[in-house]
Structures are given as structure tokens and as C-alpha cells.
Amino acid sequence: MLIKRGAVLVLSGPSGAGKSSLISKIIDDIGDCYFSISTTTRPMRAGEKDGVDYHFVDEEEFKAGIERDEFLEYAVVHGNYYGTSLGPVKEALAGGKLVIFDIDVQGNVSVNSRLGDITTSVFITPPSLSELRRRLEARGTDSCEIIEKRIENAKREIQRVSEYDYLLVNDDLDHAAEQLKLIAKVARMKLPTEEINEFVNKWENI
């Protein structure tokens, strides 16, 4: 059972959409928040750090985590496991923080089914598929094969934008960051259903 006082902001969108750059740009301006560090079985990329970008584990360890019911949600993306650990999320929510997730469309469905009343979701994308390809190639961190996988996944994911509260086109980083800041501030105002019901009960009885 989650103790809910904070709120949740789900960010999804293809790798190369600029989610990480946007988060670093806004993180100091949106109040008390907790950025959830996922666990993954995908190999570490150059420049990434264990415990900072992800908790990097092997498949056996990840599956043991599933068995122990440690994940709020998990999914297979591009052939690797990715999951959100429940413990730190519970703690951050109990502390009234805005919990930010960078998760895929499957993760968004799971989070909404468990925490829908306090969740705001944003799909972030570059302006076009050709721009996405250009960014992935310019980043130079993935092989051609992986880039093709990411492009195919992005084509599938974009079909599910309507499952999100907001669509954010990251054409100009500064402008997109301003928009995301506004969304984050409003996201914090979502109240858990129990709290709304309590308010209504009291309101009627005063």
C-alpha cells in the first residue's frame, strides 16, 4: 500500500527526444522532487555511471527483484529489462515530493493503473522522425542496429501519444523547458482520491 502525499510526473518519449536535458534544465526550478533512477539490464553506455543514470544489473538479478515484488512497474524495452523500484518512490511520495519517472509507454500504463489519481503524464518528442534519426546519429553512442531498433520503437510509441495528458515537442530546448516547468508545477497540485473524499466529507459537515 502506497502512502500518497506527493505527486507523480511521467515523462516518456524516444531516446533522443531530449528528456534528460530537459530534466536537468528544470530540476532546480520545480520545488522538492525526486528523480527515480531505474534499474536496467541494458549495457552501460560511454559516459554513464552506475547508480546515477541507472542501476545496472544482470538479468538474473533483475528477475530476482521481480520475484521479490520490488518493482512498481517493469517492462522489456529494446530487448532489455527496465524497472522502477518501489521503495524510494514510496519514501519520496510520503515526503510530499514530486516523483519524476523517465519510463516508456508500458510503464506509463502501469504507473497510471496504480497511481493514476496523482499522476500527470507527458510524451516528449523531437519535431519529426527524420530529426530523431539525426539526433541519434549525432549522439554517436549507439550502433546502427540499435539506432534502427530505437527508430522502430519510436514509430510504435508515437501512436500512443493520446494516452498522455500532454504532448511536448522538443524543437527548441529553452521553450520546451519552460513548458515542462509549467506542467511540473501543475502536476504537484493533483490530490489523491482519498484526500479529495476527506475534504468533501469535512466540507459537508462543517
Query: Which residues does residue 102 pair with via DSSP β-bridges, in sequence order?
Result: 11
Cβ of residue 194: shortest distance to ligand 5GP, in angstroms? 26
Q: CA 183, CA 69: separation in Å to the nearest integer? A: 31
Cβ of residue 55: shortest distance to ligand 5GP, in angstroms? 10
Q: CA 78, CA 143: separation in Å to the nearest integer? A: 13
Q: Do 84 and 103 contact (CB within 8 A), yes or no?
A: yes
Q: Do 126 and 135 contact (CB within 8 A), yes or no?
A: yes
Cβ of residue 7: shortest distance to ligand 5GP, in angstroms? 18
C-alpha cell at 2: 502506497
Of the pair 153, 195, the CB lying nearest ligand 5GP is at 153
Cβ of residue 201: shortest distance to ligand 5GP, in angstroms? 36
Of the pair 54, 188, the CB lying nearest ligand 5GP is at 54
Residue nearest to ligand 5GP (CB): 107
Secondary structure of residue 69 in the 3-state scheme: coil
Cβ of residue 193: shortest distance to ligand 5GP, in angstroms? 24
Of the pair 65, 83, the CB lying nearest ligand 5GP is at 83
Of the pair 5, 106, the CB lying nearest ligand 5GP is at 106
Evaluate the CA torsion angle 159, 182, 113, 17 in order and state its sign. positive
Of the pair 134, 200, the CB lying nearest ligand 5GP is at 134
Three-point CA angle 51, 43, 103, nearest 5°:
65
Cβ of residue 153: shortest distance to ligand 5GP, in angstroms? 8
Binding-site ranges for ligand 5GP (CB under 6 A): 12, 15, 38, 42, 73, 75, 77, 82-84, 102-104, 106-107
Of the pair 146, 191, the CB lying nearest ligand 5GP is at 146
Tell me the residue length of the chain: 206
Three-point CA angle 94, 206, 117, nearest 5°:
35
